[in-house]
Structure 1
Amino acid sequence: MDLGISGRTALVLGAGGGLGRAIAKALAQEGARIALADIDETALAATATDLSALGAPHLARRWDISRLDEAAGHLAAIAEVLGPIDILVNNTGGPPPSLAAGVPSETWAAQFQTMVLSVIALTDKVLPGMRERGWGRIVTSTSSGVVAPIPNLAISNALRLSLVGWSKTLSREVAPLGITCNVILPGRIATDRIRFLDEQKANREGRPLAEIVAESTGSIPLSRYGTPEEYADAVAFLASARAAYITGSVIRVDGGYLQNI
């Protein structure tokens, strides 16, 4: 199936991570031009190397998205090399594990700046161009915790859920302009982040890591963790011309893990 995004320019946030790298590669394989953004310069370079191997036009930018005043400069550099943004993939790193109670307000504020305000502010900057061209795709990656809050991930549960409300509201505002906004949420996808969380749980509970992983996969109907590529394929479809009638939705890529409807 031709997804109809060849020649489109996509900006992928968190492009150095497992999910972000897979998303960038999936979009590149469909012929999109890829702008890569990540604060981790080493991880960013690794993703750029992968795209070079695919022969995909791309530009890597070391970018701390919490620094809102720097966004305009990054976007101008991307537009000069690759063209204006047609596809925005909002993919931010996860906050530290925490309980809901007792977290300093400074921590909440810092994570809100990085995980929520940066996403909203950046989207506002790319929307005018999408409006002018009458075409745009905004895909925001969150977490299964927005549907079923995950113990010891209170910051993630709360802040990512706010993006769901924002995306749904925005989707109705921009739908008449040919722009779609969707949220996609991963279940247990085999990334460094999931391994870290499994290790944290093993340490807290004094159990072997293998036992934690077996318990986790046992709760998934497909009996395994998903791959970053499987998640990226779903993102690529939502970012495509083929998904023109899907907006305001929350799409789960979780192997059937979430039990609620």
Structure 2
Amino acid sequence: MELGIRGKKAIVCASSRGLGLGCATALAEAGCDLVMNGRDAAVLAATAENIRSTYGVDVVEIAGDVSDPSVRDALLAAAPSPDILVNNNGGPPFRDFRELTRDAMMDGVNNNMITPIELVKAVIDGMSERGFGRIVNITSLSVYQPIAGLDLSSGARAGLTAFLAGVARTVADKNVTINHILPGKFDTDRIRSSAEFAAKKAGISVAEQTRRLSSDIPAGRLGTAEEFGKVCAFLCSVHAGYITGQSIRLDGGHFASSF
């Protein structure tokens, strides 16, 4: 399917690997020029060059933590009039809520709620004036389904979802949409490292631990960054203008619900 976004400019945060890379790759395949971001400059450079050579699109690299205001300024300077914004950032590590300090809580809320809101604020009026805009926020299935130890991540991402719910309705008539993708268990560096740690602790193989991780997923497997990115690209397409304010669960059926 032709997505109708060839030549559009997209900012994709935390896109040097994992789900962010899946989104950047799918948007590049659709013909979008990219501003990519990642904390590891070397990894980011290699990833960006691979996308350039594969898809023939322009790619600007902005290394650093997107929660740093100077990095956000650099992203916006590289694409002052973006058509697409994909908000993404790493979440806080597993930790019992009793162990959370005030500083840790402030960092979690800044990383996973305030940072994406500030980027939305920076781009939404320009999108509205131009009559096209797509904003996609990568959150987590834990917004719907609590996971003990990820309370800070879940709370901050739920706050982002609620905050933007009303905002989305104010710009829908300008052909600007705001949606969220909620990943379940995906085959990324983070879950692989977690599987390796758990496997070593349990004295089993990584393959067996991965099988255990997948055992409660009706699809019987972990998701891939590629299929995640394809959903993101569709939400950014001209065909998705009537989808806004929605939280799209991508979890292989893991969240059991009729609605």
Q: What TM-score range do you get, normalising by the shorter chain?
A: over 0.9
Q: Which position in structure 1 is the counterpart of 2:118?
A: 121
8 A Cα contact 1:146 1:160, kept in partner: yes
Counterpart for residue 90 of structure 1: 87
Q: For residues 197 and 173 of structure 1, do their structure 2 counterparts lie closer, same or farther at Cα, with a shift above 3 Å needed?
A: farther
Alpha-carbon distance in structure 2 between the residues aligned to 1:53 and 1:63: 23
Aligned CA distance change for structure 1 residues 18 and 168 (closer, same or farther; 3 Å)? same
The answer as to whether partners of 1:65 and 1:118 remain within 8 angstroms in 2 is yes
Q: What stretches of structure 1 move > 6 A for 4+ residues in a row? A: none
Match in the other structure for 2:244: 247
TM-score by length of 2: 0.93
* Structure 1 pair 200–116 and aligned structure 2 pair: CA distance change class (3 A): farther
Indicate how the Cα distance of structure 1 residues 159 and 39 shifts in structure 2: closer, same or farther if over 3 A, else same: same
Q: CA deviation at 1:194?
A: 1.3
Question: CA, structure 1 residues 210+154, in 2 after alignment: closer, same or farther (shift >3 Å)?
Answer: farther
Among 135, 139, 142, the residue aligned to 1:138: 135
Is it true that 1:220 corresponds to 2:217 in the alignment? yes
The answer on whether the counterparts of 1:167 and 1:183 sit within 8 Å (CA) in structure 2 is no
Q: 1:229 aligns with which of 216, 220, 226?
A: 226
Match of 2:62 in 1: 61
Residue 77 of structure 1 deviates from its aligned partner by 2.8
Q: How does 1:195-214 map to 2 (within 5 A)?
A: 195-202=192-199, 206=202, 208=204, 209-214=206-211
* 1:194 paired residue number: 191
Q: Deviations over 1:205-225 (max 9, x none)?
A: 745344432222111111011
1:14 and 1:232 mapped to 2: Cα distance? Answer: 13
Change (3 A) 1:15 1:258: same
Contact 2:177-2:244 at 8 Å conserved across structures: yes
Partner in structure 2 of residue 44 of structure 1: 44
Match of 1:153 in 2: 150
Q: Distance in 1 between matches of 2:203 and 2:143?
A: 27
Q: Does the residue aligned with 1:175 lie in a helix, a strand or coil? A: helix
Change (3 A) 1:162 1:41: same
**Match of 1:172?**
169
String of CA shifts for 1:39-91, please: whole Å, max 9, x gaps.
Answer: 22122112202212221111111132222255334312334xxxx20000001
Match of 2:3 in 1: 3
Unaligned runs of 5+ in 2: none
> How far 1:254 sits from its partner (Å)?
1.0
Matching residue's letter, 2:166: T
**Amino acid of the structure 2 residue aligned with 1:144:** L
Of 21-30 and 145-154, deviating more is 145-154
SS, match of residue 163 in structure 1: helix
Amino acid at match of 1:59: V
Distance 1:150 1:211 in 2: 22
Q: Is the deviation greater in 88-97 or in 41-50?
A: 41-50
- Contact 1:68/1:121, CA 8 A, preserved across alignment: no
Given that 1:28 and 1:34 are in contact with CA atoms closer than 8 Å, whether structure 2 keeps it comes out as: yes
Query: RMSD between aligned alpha carbons?
Result: 1.7
- Deviation track 1:20-46 (CA, whole Å, cap 9, x = no partner) reads 111111001111111101222122112
The answer to whether the 8 A contact 2:63-2:71 is kept is no
Give distance in 1, aligned partners of 2:150 and 2:183.
15
Corresponding residue of 1:14: 14
**Structure 1 unaligned residues grouped into runs of 5+:** none
Residue 100 of structure 2 corresponds to which residue in structure 1? Answer: 103
Q: TM-score, normalised by structure 1?
A: 0.92
Tell me the percent identity: 38
Aligned counterparts of 1:120 and 1:230: Cα–Cα separation in 2: 26
Q: Which moved more, 1:68-77 or 1:154-163?
A: 68-77
Moved more, 55-64 or 140-149: 55-64
Alignment partners' CA distance in 1, 2:108 and 2:66: 11
